[in-house]
Amino acid sequence: MPTAPPPETGTRDRLIAAMTDALRRRGLHGIGLTELLQSAGAPKGVLYHHFPGGKTELAIAAIDRVVERMTSGLDQLLATAPDPLAAMRQWIRAATERLQRTGFESGCPLATVALESAPDDKALREALARGFARLRERIAHGLVVAGMPAERATGVATLMVAAYEGGLLQARVAHSIEPVQQITDTLLALLPAPPTPENPT
């Protein structure tokens, strides 16, 4: 069942929350405007007041909000975990647990929208590209700070984002966390931990 935003939340935030939930569960084209407004507890006509570009502009705002939360969570993990690869494991585990809690219905909205976007969806694709780039940059930065060479960190970060998205997709369709666990365990076992002051290379 869709998760209704709390009534005290502002209308704009409720619309973004409702769209985020819809993107996670059903994709951009899986929900109509009437249902979306009902889920947000918003009156008809209010969508275009906050988002003149309509459903697409709202979807972009939802993507931006999700990316902001993901990067914030990554920053916290990378700042507190002594090993950035351990932080990546925690990051993927948290997403996997959320997917499992929702009965394998609520995946990553970035991957969901990317799979259904068409060549004409230029603004939407640009938002997705920005989002994926921000995730890669955050991970790469954490790896560089931990001592990994910049070029290698960029490649590892790209691989981590691919593993994150691909693992969640496979887990969702399989109704099992096993695929994402296998991907995570195999990938991290292949990657040597970056050097640290306690364990320099």
In the prediction, which pLDDT does 22 show?
94
pLDDT (tens digit, 9 = 90+) per residue, 93-131? 999 999 999 999 988 999 989 998 888 999 999 999 999
At the fourth CATH level, the homologous superfamily of domain 64-190 is Tetracycline Repressor, domain 2 (1.10.357.10)
Give Dmax (Cα) for the chain: 61
Q: Decide if pLDDT at 8 tops 70.
A: no
Contacts of 164 (CB under 8 A, 6+ apart): 91, 92, 95, 108
The alpha carbon of residue 164 and the mean position of all alpha carbons in its chain are separated, in whole angstroms, by 9
pTM: 0.85
Q: Which two tokens stand for residue 74?
A: 């990554």
Contacts of 121 (CB under 8 A, 6+ apart): 56
pLDDT (tens digit, 9 = 90+) per residue, 73-92? 999 998 887 788 888 889 99
pLDDT (tens digit, 9 = 90+) per residue, 142-161? 889 888 899 999 999 999 99
Nearest alpha-carbon partner for 138 in 71, 69, 70, 65: 71
The C-alpha atoms of residue 191 and residue 184 are separated, in whole angstroms, by 11
pLDDT (tens digit, 9 = 90+) per residue, 174-197? 999 999 999 999 998 888 765 555
Q: Decide if pLDDT at 7 tops 80.
A: no
pLDDT (tens digit, 9 = 90+) per residue, 24-67? 998 888 888 889 999 999 988 899 999 999 999 999 999 999 99
In the prediction, which pLDDT does 126 show?
96
* % of the chain surpassing 70 pLDDT: 91
pLDDT band, very low/low/confident/very high, at 1 (cuts 50, 70, 90)? very low
Q: Which two tokens stand for residue 64?
A: 């931006």
Domain ranges, ordered by start, for the chain: 64-190
The C-alpha atoms of residue 190 and residue 153 are separated, in whole angstroms, by 14
Half-sphere exposure of 78 (CA within 13 A, CB side): 21
Q: Decide if pLDDT at 198 tops 80.
A: no
In the prediction, which pLDDT does 96 show?
93
Give the DSSP per-residue string, 109-169: HHHHHHHH--TT-HHHHHHHHHHHHHHHHHHHHHHHHTT--HHHHHHHHHHHHHHHHHHHH
